[in-house]
């Protein structure tokens, strides 16, 4: 594991290299089996949500009730790993108390941190549970050091997950000017829009990440066989149409094919693809990124196991030999198998993507 390798490095004969804080691997747990899969395959931390609209993966059959969370925390803590609870939607006007109760539940259950997006909730958590570690969710949409430091100064936020909009250079610039630990996305479905400031889903379906913890919700999806091909619709809006033999993907509305000007039937916003930053690990470690987040609480325990295993190996490999590190083809193949659209991108970290 990473910690042991770190000790070995600092005890060798060469001039003492500065011992960087270990890079944590933070993995998704949409269910207790997924949590165990993540821990068994080497996750340092898992993140999960309650079974309601207080988290951004509010899907039927997902997430944790009281018994599952107690079990999950015990399973993780017995093995020296951490549990974060995502309470990262914005409390709605009619019932903000539900979100405060969720903070109470999380704090009392003994989790290692809560992941928040809403300033009102942060104020509540900081006042009521001064010992509770607060992380800023990607839904908090802080893309620059002024925004990060705002949350740090007011609420003592200790870690922030950066939205997937910054290039590597920009991530580094942010790291230089904030005392907050930085967590970045390493793998998973890619939001092309800056998280926390996208209302496309509510425009079409009435429900969105900020308000309801969902994007392009399943209940708004309709599949239809037509003479032109198989069609996917979201609340009646045609998102994509597939020719015979084409792989049909989930109709996330920004990943459909549309017409713009004279150009017809192209991915005007983004292809169905996954973010994969395995190739960037040495740079991310060197610049002082504190944690890598894997997306996918809506995915199966098998997905979590596969992705966690590859990333554990990659991180350990990179810590041991940062100069000789390269992403192994077998890792990439294994990850592409479970990737959205079976393909990957470096996303905004790689400037030409923009």
Partner 1 sequence: MKLALGPLLYYWPRDAVLRFYEAIAKTPVDIVYLGETVCSRRRELRLADWLNVAATLKEAGKEVVLSTQVLIESGSDVTTLHKIAEMSVHGDFMVEANDMGAVHCLEGKVPFVAGPHLNIYNLPTLQWMAALGIKRWVIPMEMGRDDLKLLQAGRPAGLETEVFAYGRMPLAFSARCFTARHYNLPKDDCQFRCIDHADGLQMRTREGEEFLVLNGIQTQSARVYNLLPEMDAMREIGVDVVRISPQSQHTPEIIDLFHQVMSNKNSAEAAMQTLTPLMPEQACNGYWYGKPGLELCGDTTLQRVAQTQ
For partner 1, the binding residues (CB under 8 A) are: 90-94, 96, 117-121, 123-124, 140-147, 149-151, 153, 164-167, 170, 173, 192-194, 196-200, 202-206, 208, 210-211, 235, 237-241, 254, 257-261, 263-265, 268-270, 348, 351-354
**Cβ proximity to partner 1, 201 vs 317, nearer residue:** 201
Place of tokens 């069609």: 231
Given a contact cutoff of 8 angstroms between Cβ atoms, the answer to whether 234 and 216 are in contact is: yes
Q: Report the distance separating Cα 152 and Cα 97, nearest Å.
A: 24
Q: Smallest distance, Å, CB 237 to partner 1?
A: 6
**Cβ proximity to partner 1, 79 vs 351, nearer residue:** 351
Q: What contacts 256, CB < 8 A, 6 or more positions away?
A: 232, 238, 239, 240, 267
**Cβ proximity to partner 1, 75 vs 353, nearer residue:** 353
**Cβ proximity to partner 1, 42 vs 217, nearer residue:** 217
Q: Smallest distance, Å, CB 164 to partner 1?
A: 8
Q: Smallest distance, Å, CB 120 to partner 1?
A: 3
Q: Smallest distance, Å, CB 112 to partner 1?
A: 25
The per-residue DSSP string of 138-175 comes to GGG---SHHHHHHHHHHH---EEEPPTT--HHHHHHHH
Q: Smallest distance, Å, CB 299 to partner 1?
A: 24
**Cβ proximity to partner 1, 34 vs 253, nearer residue:** 253
Q: Report the distance separating Cα 199 and Cα 203, nearest Å.
A: 6
* Rg over CA atoms, the chain: 20
Q: Smallest distance, Å, CB 200 to partner 1?
A: 5
Q: Report the distance separating Cα 239 and Cα 170, nearest Å.
A: 33
Given a contact cutoff of 8 angstroms between Cβ atoms, the answer to whether 118 and 90 are in contact is: yes
**Cβ proximity to partner 1, 74 vs 197, nearer residue:** 197
Place of tokens 């209940």: 219
């Amino acid at each position: 594991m990473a910690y042991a390798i770190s000790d070995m490095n600092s005890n060798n004969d060469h001039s003492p290299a500065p011992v960087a804080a270990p890079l944590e691997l933070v993995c998704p747990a949409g269910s207790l089996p997924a949590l165990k899969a993540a821990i068994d395959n080497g996750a340092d931390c898992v993140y999960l949500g309650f079974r309601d609209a207080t988290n951004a993966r509010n899907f039927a059959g997902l997430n944790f009730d009281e018994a599952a969370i107690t079990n999950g925390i015990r399973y993780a803590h017995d093995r020296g790993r951490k549990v974060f609870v995502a309470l990262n939607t914005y409390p709605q006007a009619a019932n903000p108390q539900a979100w405060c109760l969720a903070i109470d539940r999380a704090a009392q259950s003994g989790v290692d941190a809560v992941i928040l997006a809403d300033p009102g909730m942060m104020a509540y958590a900081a006042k009521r549970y001064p010992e509770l570690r607060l992380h800023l969710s990607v839904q908090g949409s802080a893309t620059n050091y002024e925004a990060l430091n705002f949350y740090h100064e007011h609420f003592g936020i200790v870690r922030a997950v950066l939205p997937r909009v910054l290039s590597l250079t920009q991530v580094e610039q942010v790291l230089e000017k904030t005392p907050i630990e930085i967590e970045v996305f390493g793998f998973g479905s890619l939001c092309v829009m800056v998280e926390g400031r996208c209302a496309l889903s509510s425009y079409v379906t009435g429900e969105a990440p900020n308000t309801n913890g969902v994007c392009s919700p399943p209940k708004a999806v309709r599949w239809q066989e037509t003479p032109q091909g198989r069609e996917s619709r979201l609340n009646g809006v045609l998102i994509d149409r597939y020719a015979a033999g084409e792989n049909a993907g989930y109709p996330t509305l920004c990943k459909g094919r549309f017409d713009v000007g004279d150009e017809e039937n192209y991915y005007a916003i983004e292809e169905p693809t996954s973010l994969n930053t395995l190739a960037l690990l040495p740079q991310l470690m060197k610049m002082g990124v504190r944690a890598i987040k894997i997306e996918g609480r809506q995915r199966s325990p098998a997905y979590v196991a596969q992705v966690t295993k590859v990333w554990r190996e990659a991180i350990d490999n990179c810590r041991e030999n940062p100069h000789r590190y390269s992403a192994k083809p077998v890792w990439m193949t294994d990850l592409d198998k479970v990737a959205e659209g079976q393909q990957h991108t470096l996303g905004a970290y790689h400037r030409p993507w923009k």
